Copies of this chain bind each other. A is one copy, B any other.
Amino acid sequence: MPRKRNAHRSPDMPTLADVARLAGVSEITASRVVRVQGPIADSTRARVLTAIAELGYIPNRAAGSLASAGSTLMSVLLPSLSNIVFPDVLRGIHTALTETAFQPVIGVTDYDPLIEERILVSFLAWQPAAVILAGLHHTPTARRHLEHGRFRVAELMDIDGEPVDIAVGMSHRQAGYETGKHLIQRGYRRFGYARHNVTTDDRASARYEGLCSALQEAGLSLVAEHCYPDASSTKAGRDALAILLAAHPDLDVVVFPNDDMAMGGIFHCMHAGIAVKEKLGIFGFNGLDIGQAMPMPLSTILSKRFLIGKTAAEKLLESRERPAEKTIINTGFDIIEGATA
């Protein structure tokens, strides 16, 4: 009675042992061929490969992970998937991981550090090779896990702070500051700001602060701001601008936390017959394609989301061990002049 357990694999899924037997080698040699590891004679490799093809062998990664105490999974924790920014980051990660043995496992935190912590712990159960998350701010428990774990860690988007291992991103504070300087230089003086409800989006807050300090340096300050109660969207931007202008018709420029909302702002202007740029400047953030395809391209800041994801994943693959010094990679940003401010 060789096989006692019957809850197991379908009609005898072949195992490494089957492959080894058919190829006339030991299990460990077959294993080495599969993993492309260690010295193997060409003839042996060929025999094993043939056996694999013949049996339709699929390795069992759970067994492999258990035996080697490590997996080929990379945990990716993103705040949101509604915000186009994060699919872009994910795309970058995925691009870097193509052709490698690594696979991303994704979780969505909804910008909530507690959810992040919960998902992180559940991901750790897979002994991932690396963990990628957004931002440098995590719960103490999460941070402890990140610091003591046997895996690489990349914190994306933001570089204003102390990373656990690697940080890849840009300074959002500086982006906000440069936005302010840029607009002041172009003659704008009466600034409005349209927020949205995500209070835990640290990056948006950092940009806001940067903008304020640029204004302050120039002896200015925000004339008005409005916080739209719902999540960010084009409609949110459109409505927010309407409200802002109703209360403060004398604004000459309005800064939005992202391009989606800024486009909403432009749509409001189109609807209300306000001459964008001459009468009212509109400034966004992200540099989405759609904004640049408009008849008057959106003035905004290009954040390099794909590059951030790709760079982070590549960097993580460089070494399995965490190096002594932390790495901070600034992918920077570009101001897109556009035609709306």
Contact = CB atoms under 8 A, between A and B. Distances in A.
A271 interface: yes
A90 interface: yes
Interface of A: 7-10, 58-63, 65-66, 68-69, 71, 73, 81-82, 84, 86-88, 90-91, 94, 101, 103-108, 121-127, 148-150, 233-235, 237-238, 260, 263-264, 267, 270-271, 289-290, 292-295
**8 residue pairs, one from A and one from B, having the closest CB atoms:** A62-B65, A234-B293, A61-B125, A87-B87, A271-B295, A62-B66, A235-B293, A81-B91
Given A125-B59, A233-B289, A105 B104 contact: yes
Nearest to A5: B69
Contacts of A66: 60, 62-63, 66
Nearest to A260: B290
B290 A290 contact: yes
Copies in the complex: 2
Most buried by B among A81, A87, A290: A81
Contact of A267 (B94, B103, B295): B295
Contacts of A69: 7-9
Given A123-B103, A235-B292, A68 B260 contact: no
Given A9-B69, A62-B63, A101-B122, 6 more contacts: A58-B125, A81-B88, A86-B87, A106-B106, A233-B289, A235-B292
Contacts of A71: 62
B58 A124 contact: yes
B290 A150 contact: no
Contact of A294 (B8, B106, B126, B267): B267
A235 to B, nearest CB: 4
